[in-house]
Amino acid sequence: MIDKNSPIPIYHQLEEYIKSQIESGELKPDEAIPSERVYADLFKISRMTIRQALTNLVNDGYLYRQKGKGTFVNQKKVENRLEGMTSFTEDMKERGLTPGSRLVSFEIIPASRKIADMLHLAEHTPVFEIKRVRLADDAPLALETTFLPANLVKGLTEEIINHSLYEYIEEKLSLTIHEATQQIEATIAKEHELPLLEIDRGSPVLLIHRTSYLKDGTPFEYVKSAYRADRYKFVHSMKR
């Protein structure tokens, strides 16, 4: 399992070993991993090497540490295939997770210059500004701030938003959601996002900006989302 004659660094071999135990289910989510001493005795390797491997696995989101308690296996990351334009609700259901929302704020505001530009509106046109923490099996995955033209996405209520925005737009308003452009960048979570996403200061998040359009080219939403980087990843396949 650990080959000391291999040119592959030992800490990397240990990382791969622990990852394979997570993959196979020998180590289960939220289970404590063996102590450093157990690995040291098992493989006859130094504590420093073990620490290096564990730190890398924590940084990559496979493990998490709890002060005074130990190191545990993280939940598997939710994968988002960058194909097809799906809603959060559809995404979670497809993965066998229960989608949910925690409403942070819901109001109609005059569009700022930037939001008006993104939605092709005149400045100060009324828009919904909706902040939701999106949940997967009751655990926070993302914080979404959605801007929608109030005279286009009519009749929105908190109840609708707690369910699915896209389902309402398509099924109740009979509008055809067609396409979107989005940008993804890595950053550190902002102070106000920490308690909402239940993460520590300094945690990485994936920031996504999406503008979505109806069939006739009208933009109907501009969304800023911060996804927990330890629980979410994007998978993109491409053809040559």
**Binding region for ligand 16G (CB under 6 A):** 87-89, 144, 146, 164-167, 182, 208, 210, 212, 221, 223, 225
Nearer to ligand 16G, 62 or 147 (CB): 147
Min separation Cβ 127 and ligand 16G, Å: 14
Nearer to ligand 16G, 11 or 220 (CB): 220
Closest Cα to residue 74, out of 114, 22, 123?
Answer: 22
Pairing of β 126-136 and β 99-110: antiparallel
Region for residue 124 given its phi and psi (left: phi exceeds 0; alpha: psi -120 to 50; beta: otherwise): left
Indicate the helix (H) or strand (E) that contains 116. helix 113-118
Min separation Cβ 184 and ligand 16G, Å: 8
Nearer to ligand 16G, 127 or 165 (CB): 165
Under 8 Å CB-to-CB from 190, ≥6 apart: which residues?
226
SS3 100: strand
Nearer to ligand 16G, 56 or 87 (CB): 87
What is the signed CA dihedral for 77, 82, 87, 88, rounded to 10 degrees? 10
Nearer to ligand 16G, 193 or 221 (CB): 221
What is the distance between the alpha carbons of residues 115 and 225, in angstroms, rounded to a whole number? 15
Min separation Cβ 171 and ligand 16G, Å: 11
Min separation Cβ 110 and ligand 16G, Å: 21
Min separation Cβ 221 and ligand 16G, Å: 6
Min separation Cβ 29 and ligand 16G, Å: 23
At 112, the amino acid letter reads S
Nearer to ligand 16G, 221 or 230 (CB): 221
How many angstroms separate the Cα of 3 from the Cα of each of 22, 50, 159? Answer: 20, 15, 58
How many angstroms separate the Cα of 79 from the Cα of each of 16, 76, 127, 209, 236? Answer: 20, 9, 31, 18, 10
Min separation Cβ 233 and ligand 16G, Å: 13
Nearer to ligand 16G, 39 or 88 (CB): 88
